[in-house]
Amino acid sequence: MNYPLRSRAALLTAFGVPTSVESVDVPQELEEGAILARVRRASVCGTDVHTWLGSGFTANQKNLPSIMGHEMVGEVVAFGDGPQVDSVGQTLAAGDRIVWTHAPCGRCYYCGVGRSPSLCLNRQSYGRVSVNTFPGLTGAFAEYCYVFPTSGRVKVPDEVPDDWAAPSSCALRTVVHLLERVGVIESHESVVVQGTGPLGLFAVAMLHHAGIQNITAIGAPGPRLEIAKAYGATQLISLEETPDPAVRAGLVRDATRGSRGADLVLEMSGAPQAYSEGLELLAPGGRFGVAGQTSSERVPVDPSLVVRKQLSVIGALSAHVGHYWKALEFLKESRGRFDWDAMLTRPTGLDGLTQAMQGMRNGVMKPLIDPQA
């Protein structure tokens, strides 16, 4: 493949207006350890929609114009100097498919002592850097993307198609990270998953795959709850049919041992009010894992519940490269068991990005983008 000079990219020039497909420079020099990747598939994340609308913590005027998107799978076009291996030690060659992480600095407290590179104080994040800042191509919604020297990278197993690999690099790896942080879940424990979008559905599937017997999914609309059921949810609570949170809490208590409430609640919906509800659904001594919240909206919370029920509240931001690897391994090992395509749409080109984001606001679950189309 010839080294490209220019790349088509969907640019965000102002919040809330349609993105426009423009031609931008491809960096002609790769730093040591960097990779130029050709994006084979990208998927739209709820965070992208918040960024687009200027409503999330990821939206910052000074980063415009930018290329949004951080869920992608690409193939290696060229390497900077240094070893041609991934973060698992597997050899990489031109044409190999990879997913990659945001770029931690490797030198701050959280990269080192804290062993939490997703909390890096100097992290460069895909989808948020101005296209006018080197290396320019740092978003998924473009033909090419620059893999930063410090970005973890993992070769995608042959068994995992592009359409699954793209969402694994955000939604699924975040679920993997959160489940790791909440710790061991015993098979008798009851789990509530709030939200039946990609995060919630991946969580239901991973819990089911791990042998958890009592999984309640709370969400809407009906077709998403049906997917949750197919992925292993043992009880469904429809937000449409049960709009009263107090009634939902009663249903959760009825479904748990001794009517105590849930041992673990996973907040995957991203709806700020779901955080307050999650605290109510928990049994005394319960754990609350929170990964979906990226909105800047504030809601009333009863903090005394944390003390009265002695709860543990555990957040997870993004993920470490090990979580990306585990996400891909899960997809490989569970293939045939879960119909992931039920969550996905047919890919559209970069021109279709605005419509895809609009669709997501109107209930489309996980739009796919083919930047080469």
Nearer to Zn ion among residue 51 and residue 194 (C-beta): 51
**Cβ 107 to Zn ion, closest distance in Å?**
6
First to last CA, the chain: 17
**Cβ 128 to Zn ion, closest distance in Å?**
11
Window 313-352: contact mask with Zn ion (x via CB under 5 A): ----------------------------------------
Question: Which of 9, 131, 165, 170 touches Zn ion (CB under 5 A)?
Answer: 170
Please state the three-class secondary structure of 140-171 as a single string.
Answer: CCECEEEECCCCCEEECCCCCCHHHHHHHHHH
Helix count and strand count (H, E) for the chain: 10, 15
**Cβ 3 to Zn ion, closest distance in Å?**
29
Closest among 205, 215, 212, 204 to 187, alpha carbons compared: 212
Helix (H, G, I), strand (E, B) or coil at 326: helix
Could you say whether residue 108 binds Zn ion (CB under 5 A)? yes
**Cβ 79 to Zn ion, closest distance in Å?**
23
Nearer to Zn ion among residue 255 and residue 291 (C-beta): 291
Cβ distance 196 to 72 under 8 Å? no
- Tell me the C-alpha distance between 369 and 373, whole Å: 9
Question: Interacting stretch for Zn ion, rule CB under 5 A, among 85-93, 113-121, 200-208, 356-364?
Answer: 113-121
Question: Interacting stretch for Zn ion, rule CB under 5 A, among 23-31, 46-54, 153-161, 313-321?
Answer: 46-54
**Placement of tokens 């990489």 in the chain:** 92
Sequence-separated (6 or more) residues with CB below 8 Å from residue 47: 56, 58, 70, 127, 170, 294
Please state the three-class secondary structure of 258-317 as a single string.
Answer: HHCCEEEEEECCCCHHHHHHHHHHEEEEEEEEECCCCECCCCCCCCHHHHHCCCEEEECC
Residues paired with residue 44 on neighbouring β-strands, in sequence order: none
Helix (H, G, I), strand (E, B) or coil at 131: coil
Longest dimension (CA), the chain: 65
Question: Which of 11, 26, 44, 120 touches Zn ion (CB under 5 A)?
Answer: 120
**How many chain residues are in contact with Zn ion, going by CB under 5 A?**
8
Nearer to Zn ion among residue 243 and residue 363 (C-beta): 363
Question: Interacting stretch for Zn ion, rule CB under 5 A, among 92-100, 112-120, 132-140, 224-232?
Answer: 112-120
**Cβ 164 to Zn ion, closest distance in Å?**
15
Nearer to Zn ion among residue 248 and residue 320 (C-beta): 320
List binders of Zn ion among 277-306 (CB under 5 A). Answer: none
Question: Interacting stretch for Zn ion, rule CB under 5 A, among 15-23, 31-39, 41-49, 350-358?
Answer: 41-49
Question: Which of 24, 34, 45, 365 touches Zn ion (CB under 5 A)?
Answer: 45
**Cβ 109 to Zn ion, closest distance in Å?**
8
Question: Interacting stretch for Zn ion, rule CB under 5 A, among 108-116, 204-212, 231-239, 336-344?
Answer: 108-116
Could you say whether residue 111 binds Zn ion (CB under 5 A)? yes
**Cβ 170 to Zn ion, closest distance in Å?**
3
Instruction: Return the residue nearest Zn ion (CB atom).
Output: 45
- Tell me the C-alpha distance between 205 and 201, whole Å: 6
Helix (H, G, I), strand (E, B) or coil at 87: coil
Structure token pair of residue 196: 């039946």
Question: Interacting stretch for Zn ion, rule CB under 5 A, among 164-172, 239-247, 301-309, 341-349?
Answer: 164-172
**Placement of tokens 């080197």 in the chain:** 134
Nearer to Zn ion among residue 45 and residue 160 (C-beta): 45
List binders of Zn ion among 188-217 (CB under 5 A). Answer: none
Residues paired with residue 66 on neighbouring β-strands, in sequence order: 12, 130
Give residues in contact with Zn ion (CB under 5 A). Answer: 45, 47, 104-105, 108, 111, 120, 170
